[in-house]
Copies of this chain bind each other. A is one copy, B any other.
Amino acid sequence: MRVRQRDIAQAAGVSQASVSLVVSGRASEGGISPSTQDRIRTAMEELGYRPDPVARSLRGGRSGLVGVFTYEPVFPARPDEYFHEFLVGIEMAAADRGQDLVLFSSTQQADGRRSIYAGGSSRLQHADGSVILGMHRDDDELARLAKDEYPFVSVGRYDPVPEAAWVEVDYDGAVRAIIEDFHRAGHRAIAYVAGDNARLPSLARRHAFAASTRGDTTQILTETEFDENTLGTWRDSGITAVIAENPDIAEKVERAAARAGLRVPDDFSAACLDTPLRSGRSASWSHLLIPKREVGIRSVNLLAAILDGKLPRGHHDSVQCASHHLGTIAAERV
């Protein structure tokens, strides 16, 4: 049996409106005498009144629920480090703001893929707005979401939908900084090993690399193109430094180098564009520190600002990216 404001109004011999004022803490402001307030509070206590958040949402238009939409399960079989840190930030920010998180597991279809509009009505409506996470996006769906004027923020740059708001990592600046380190150390012939997927985050980093190495000798290849012969090719082309786009690639390069009897940084300098695996052989590579937690926090905050009308729907935010030097960028012997 739910206790409503009406019940305690009756018990305290006041109107429901007065109860509402007390509940929302605006009693004095609304001009309720201290004695009446006391009576109301006592009645609330005795009857065990708890405001109904759903009714509040209906009335106020906000549920305080922040959606988290991912095209993959949030809790994968193998804890995916990549997602995790974003989610830490998202949960922290939500907690700070007094908001709850909704994970849209219902959007998962039989084949394991998730779709916003598959179930007919968008379940995202349950949340005031959503944070969109993950690589494998459906541009059409998200475009539609934007057209429906549903407030959402993409974690990571998201060009395909012009109206989308996002929080991006400043890969440009970060990659540029790493290249400058290479330059300072005398390297002018640099290889870049990219991931196989041609998704935005990957492309962004490749472009940043290309832009920062104008005038240098460069070689860009993808993960699958990297094989046993690659190291030889590099040596022949005079390549003295390597950038691996992600930790897996760094591992791959390290293993190939080890087999070829080459050492980092004695034989070539190296850096990785994300934090390497803790226990891997490339753990000591110089690398970028992607501020995932910060990005998560800012995404939630940006969403809140958009909901409050303080920032426009398509606002973008960018987070600086630090780098962590572990001595795998050595001076080039000229």
A interface residues, Cβ below 8 angstroms from B? 1, 23, 48, 50-58, 63-65, 73-77, 79, 81, 84, 87-88, 90-92, 94-95, 97-106, 108, 117, 119-123, 125-126, 148-149, 279
Contact = CB atoms under 8 A, between A and B. Distances in A.
Given A51-B121, A75-B87, A106 B102 contact: no
Contact of A63 (B94, B95, B126, B149): B126
B95 A99 contact: no
A76 B99 contact: no
Q: Which 7 A-B pairs have the closest CB atoms?
A: A95-B108, A51-B121, A101-B103, A94-B105, A95-B105, A75-B87, A75-B88
Among A58, A81, A100, chain B packs the most CB atoms within 10 A around the CB of A100
B106 A98 contact: yes
B56 A57 contact: no
Contact of A79 (B23, B84, B105, B108): B84
- Count of chain copies: 2
B105 A91 contact: yes
A117 to B, nearest CB: 7
Contacts of A23: 120
A51 B120 contact: yes
A85 B260 CA distance: 40
